[in-house]
Amino acid sequence: MNERQTLKINNLGHLEIGGVDAKALKEQYGTPLYVMDQAYIEDMCKIYADTLKKEYGDGMIAYASKAFSCLEIYRIINKMGIGADSVSAGEMFTAKTAGFPMEKICLHGNNKSSFELEYAVQNNVGYIVLDSYTEASELNEICKKYNKVQKVLIRVNPGIEAHTHHFVQTAKVDSKFGYSIGSGEAEKVVCFVKKQENLDLVGLHCHIGSQIFEYKSFELAVEKMTDFYKKLSDLYGYSFDVINIGGGFGVWYADGDAKKSCNEYAEYIKIISGALKRCVAEKSLKKPYLILEPGRSIVGEAGVTLYTAGRTKEIKGIKNYIAIDGGMFDNPRYALYQAKYSVVSALNMNAKKSNKYTIAGKCCESGDIIAEDVMLPEIKEGDLIAVLSTGAYNYSMSSNYNRNLIPPVVMVKDGESRYIVKPQTFEDLIRNDV
C-alpha cells in the first residue's frame, strides 16, 4: 500500500481513508462503494498548478475529466484554480452545471458529433482540439453561423511508443488519434486549418499514452513537438501561442509501480517544463503557453473501492476464488486490459498474508475478475475487501451490466464523509425503459 496521512492503517488494524475507518464507511453506506479522498485530490491539483507556475510560468493544468467526472469534481478543481479537458457533451454539460468556467475547457475527441461541436461553440469553450479535416470544415461553418472565431489546436502524433499496454498507447504511428508528423500528414492538416476563416489555430496538441513512468518519453515528446513548430515557422512563417503535451503520468497500482508522494509527482511537471524551456531557447521559438492534462494521477490513488466478500471456491491445486458483491460493472479494467490492482483485507490489515486468492466479480462472465493471485489473510464470507487506486476510470467506466446498480461515490475528508454520487435505485435502472 502506498501509505500517506489520508490512507493508512489505524490503531485498530483497520484501513482508514481520509480519517474515516473503512468499517464505519461500510456500516453507513454499504458495499460496493467508491470512496474518494478529497485532501489527496486537492493536494495533487495544488502541487501541479504551483509547480507549473514556478518551473515554467505561463500555462494551465487541465484535469482530464474522463478519469472521473461528476458535479463535485468540477467544483473541487475549479476551487483549486485549474482547468479541465472534456471529451463529450456530457462532460461539458456536467462542468457547466457545476459552474465551471467554460473558457478553461479543452474539448477533445476523434469523432466529435455536430451537436458536440455546436454545444462547445455556444458555450464558449476555450479550446477545441481538432482531429480530422471534416471536423475542421464543419466547425468553421458552425462558427460562421454564430459569428465567432474559435481557438483550436490540432492533435498531432509525434510517433513515440511509450512502454504501456498497447490499448493505452496513443502516439504510436498506427493510432486512431491525431495526424502523424513523420508521414507529413500533420503538416498538411495544419495548412488546411490555417485557411479556415473562423478558426484561430493557436497551437498543437499531443498525448503519448497513459500510465507512463519514463520521464524520457515526455522529454522526447517536447523535442518532437518543438521540432515540428520550428519546421512550420521556417517553412510557412507560422507562429503558435500554445503547446499541449497531454498527460499520462504513471501512478501506483501494485508492487512494481513507483510509490510517489504527492510532492514527488511534481517531477513530471518539472521535466516537461525544463525540456520545453530548453527547446524553445535552442530553436529560437516564441515561448508558448503550456497546457498539461493529468487525470489519473490526480484522482487515481485518491480512490478505494470497498466490497463485501461472498462465496469462496477452492479448486485444489489450481485456484482459490473469493467472490465479491461488485465486479466488472464497477471496474471493467481487468477485463479490458488486465489492469493490476492491490487488494487488502480492510479490517485485518496487520494479519499475515498467507493465502493466495483470485478476486472474482458477481457478473455472469468468466472474465469478470478484479485481481488474480493476490496474497491475503484467510478470507471468510462477510469480510470487508478493499481494492486500492480505483479513483480513475472505475466509476467512469461503470455500467449496469447484468442489471446491477452502479455503486455510489462517497467523498471523505478530515474524518467526515458525504455522498457525491447517490446510490442508484431499481427505479433509476428502468427509468428510460418503454
- Positions annotated as catalytic residues are 364
Q: Residue 432: phi, psi to the nearest 5?
A: -100, 5
Helix (H, G, I), strand (E, B) or coil at 91: helix
Sequence length of the chain is 434
Residues 6+ apart with CB under 8 A from 432: none
Q: Are 195 and 132 spatial neighbours (Cβ–Cβ below 8 Å)?
A: no
The full DSSP string for 303-314 is EEEEEEEEEEEE
The whole-angstrom separation of Cα 342 and Cα 12 is 21
> Which of 122, 126, 80, 121 lies closest to 101, judged by CA?
126
The full DSSP string for 376-390 is ES---TT-EEEEES-
Q: Are 81 and 49 spatial neighbours (Cβ–Cβ below 8 Å)?
A: yes
H or E stretch at 215: helix 215-236
Q: Are 219 and 226 spatial neighbours (Cβ–Cβ below 8 Å)?
A: no
Question: In 226-262, which positions are buried (b, 16+ CB within 10 angstroms) versus exposed (e)?
Answer: bebbbbbbeeeeeebebbbbbbbbbbbbeeebeebeb
> Which of 136, 134, 135, 178 lies closest to 156, judged by CA?
178
Residues 6+ apart with CB under 8 A from 253: 300, 339, 340, 341, 342, 388, 389
Q: Are 313 and 358 spatial neighbours (Cβ–Cβ below 8 Å)?
A: no
Sign of torsion over alpha carbons 114, 116, 119, 125: negative
The whole-angstrom separation of Cα 28 and Cα 332 is 26
Residues 6+ apart with CB under 8 A from 254: 340, 341, 342
Q: Which residue has the cell 511508443?
A: 161
